[in-house]
Amino acid sequence: MKSKTLLTLAICAVAASLFSGCSTQKTRTGRNNSFLGGLVTYDTGSYRSVSANTIDVDATQFLGRVNPSGDKLSLGWGALTLHDY
């Protein structure tokens, strides 16, 4: 009985995360796109500083870009952040 309840809860949690859809918000500095309940977040034109609670990866060091775009990709609710500024 307990395993059926746990299985049902697990299926509901997976279904809720997969079918949560995406959210797009137009902000003052650009667009904020959020997928899978915030698991993946993509900001365009966002030159905001990255929080101290994240693993920060600066794409300009790897790509050598002269004109940064200000885009930021956050994975795992902000655990890993890749930015281009």
| 54 has a pLDDT exceeding 70 | yes
Gap between the Cα atoms of 80 and 76, Å rounded = 7
Percent of the chain scoring above 90 in pLDDT = 1
Q: What's the whole-number mean pLDDT along residues 33-61?
A: 81
∠ CA(73), CA(65), CA(55), 5° rounding? 35
| pLDDT higher at 68 or 4 | 4
| 34 has a pLDDT exceeding 80 | no
Residue 27: predicted pLDDT: 66
| pTM (two decimals) | 0.62
Residue 18: predicted pLDDT: 66
